Structure 1
Amino acid sequence: MRTPAVMIIGIVLAPCGLVLDLVSTVAPNWREVRNIPGAARDEVLQQGIWDICQAFDASNTLKCGQTDENYFKEQVINSAKGLMIASLIVTMAGIVVASLGIRCWEETPNLLLAGLGGILIFISGVLCIIPIAWYTSLLNTIKASGSDIRVGYCIVLGYIGSCFMVIGGGALIVCLFQLCFKKKEQLTNSHSNKYYHNNPRSPKSIIKTVDARDFTRPQQPTSLRRPIEVGDFTVPPVKPAPKKTVNITDFSMNKPCDADF
């Protein structure tokens, strides 16, 4: 049996979303701070939820482990840490459950497990998009040492990954609707079979097939049927000789008959 399209979409997008979610969580580039007073012109502070790195555009050097107590005390940072980790854990659990439900090694998938895995993956996408959107809304509100603040690539990857997980989870949730329709169809068939089993005289049990020839002409026993003679049509038919007619009123012959005597 071929794997349904909704299962393929879900099982492909979920791992892609997991990878993007992982990069967004670990990488220290949720925003970039430039034009820092008293610093080099090409200096850039890359701030994440776990670490802050100092980068220089001219030399392409990166130095991480920078400290900023005010930044890490922000509520959105602490909330993002917990939500992103929870999103990763729920995503992995959802992928495992969905894989057991899809089970490409079997002929028929388990729609219930696939649907439950889709619910977990959908929830993980929501858990990922909440801190991403929250951080984006407070991007310029969080205190920074520079005047030029830009969105980091982690925000972009987080949005894309969360969308992948929401779409993939939603596709797998469709399996639950398919399961409901299948159960409803089986229930309807079982009710109809039970009805006809308990009512043997129902119209379904007395329906007989009738040949259409029965309505065109009455059937005769084989013994009473006359054989049909097949004539030879290759020889032209012989015309019968014309019959001679005698006119009893004709007296031209003037021959006496026995009755005259």
Structure 2
Amino acid sequence: MRTPGIFIFGMVLAPCGWLLELVSTVAPAWRTINNIPGQPIDLVLQQGLWDICKTFASSQNIICNQQDTQYFSAQIIQIARGLMLASLILNVIAIGVASAGVRCWSDNPHWTVAGVGGVLIFISGVLTIIPVAWYTHIMTSIFSTSTDIRVGYCLVLGFIGGCMEVLGGLVMSIGLCRRCDGRKSRTDAVKFARYPSPPHRVTSLSVISASSAASSVPYYSKQSEMDFTRAKTQRDSRPVNTANKARPYDSDL
């Protein structure tokens, strides 16, 4: 049996979403700060969940491991770290469970196991979208030395990866609905076997033959009987030429 298309769709989106989440978690580019007072005009400060880097537009140099106690002490940073790590770990477990349920080398896939894996993938995507959306909403309110704050590419990658996981997990979860439909069909079959429907009434052939024979008997109405009598009377009342009948012919001699 071929692998259902919903499982192939989910098994492709889940690893792709996990890679985007990994880059979003590790890379220090959740937001960028430009035009910092007292710093060179080409300096761009990139801030992430685990690291802060300085980049210079003129020389393309990158200096990481920058310290910013006020930024890392923000509540959103601590929550985002925990949710992103939980999402990465849960996604790995979900892909393993879904792979065991799909089993392309078996005759029939395990719909329940694959559906549970899809639910876990869906939850993993939700855990990614929550911190990304929250960080984007309060990005300008987090401590910064400049007011020129822009969205980093990590937020975009994290949002795309989370949406891919949500969509893939939601599609794979249809396997649970398929499982429920199969149980309902088996229950209906058991009920039908336990309480069979009454037999249908069959009309006997003898009755049909009798009715056909009865219908083949000719029917004479009173009017037809009167017409027959009138025609017989007219035929009997025709004159008979007795003269010609009494005269002998030469052939009689």
Same fold, TM-score > 0.5, yes or no:
yes
Deviation at 1:248, TM superposition (A): 8.3
Quote the sequence identity (%): 46
- Structure 2 unaligned segments of length 5 or more: list them: 214-242
1: CA distance, partners of 2:174 / 2:248:
115
Q: Relative to structure 1, is the Cα distance of residues 62 and 254 closer, same or farther in structure 2, using a 3 angstrom cutoff? A: closer
2: CA distance, partners of 1:138 / 1:93:
31
2: CA distance, partners of 1:208 / 1:164:
66
Corresponding residue number in structure 2 for 1:158: 158
Corresponding residue number in structure 2 for 1:242: none
Q: Relative to structure 1, is the Cα distance of residues 208 and 252 closer, same or farther in structure 2, using a 3 angstrom cutoff? A: closer
- Structure 1 unaligned segments of length 5 or more: list them: 218-246
Q: Relative to structure 1, is the Cα distance of residues 63 and 11 closer, same or farther in structure 2, using a 3 angstrom cutoff? A: same
Q: Relative to structure 1, is the Cα distance of residues 256 and 187 closer, same or farther in structure 2, using a 3 angstrom cutoff? A: closer
Alignment equivalent of 1:249, drawn from 237, 245, 249: 245
1:105-116, aligned counterparts within 5 Å? Answer: 105-116=105-116
* Mapped pair 1:203 → 2:199: yes
Deviation at 1:123, TM superposition (A): 0.7
Corresponding residue number in structure 2 for 1:78: 78
Corresponding residue number in structure 2 for 1:123: 123
Corresponding residue number in structure 2 for 1:231: none
1: CA distance, partners of 2:195 / 2:104:
38
2: CA distance, partners of 1:119 / 1:87:
13
2: CA distance, partners of 1:255 / 1:119:
121
What is the one-letter code of the residue matched to 1:129? I
Corresponding residue number in structure 2 for 1:142: 142
Corresponding residue number in structure 2 for 1:31: 31
Corresponding residue number in structure 2 for 1:172: 172
3-state secondary structure, aligned to 2:38: coil
Q: Relative to structure 1, is the Cα distance of residues 8 and 213 closer, same or farther in structure 2, using a 3 angstrom cutoff? A: farther
3-state secondary structure, aligned to 1:140: helix
Greater share of residues in helix: 2
What is the one-letter code of the residue matched to 2:38? G
Question: Could you list the per-position Cα deviations for residues 169-201 of structure 1 after superposition, in whole angstroms to 9, with x for gaps in the alignment?
Answer: 1001111111111110111011111223xxxx9
Q: Relative to structure 1, is the Cα distance of residues 213 and 184 closer, same or farther in structure 2, using a 3 angstrom cutoff? A: farther
2: CA distance, partners of 1:175 / 1:33:
46
3-state secondary structure, aligned to 1:10: helix
Corresponding residue number in structure 1 for 2:187: 187
2: CA distance, partners of 1:144 / 1:208:
95
Instruction: Using the TM superposition, name which of 186-195 and 42-51 deviates more.
Output: 186-195
2: CA distance, partners of 1:174 / 1:141:
41
Cα RMSD after superposing both structures: 3.0
Corresponding residue number in structure 2 for 1:223: none
TM-score of the aligned structures, taking structure 1 as reference length: 0.78
What is the one-letter code of the residue matched to 2:63? K
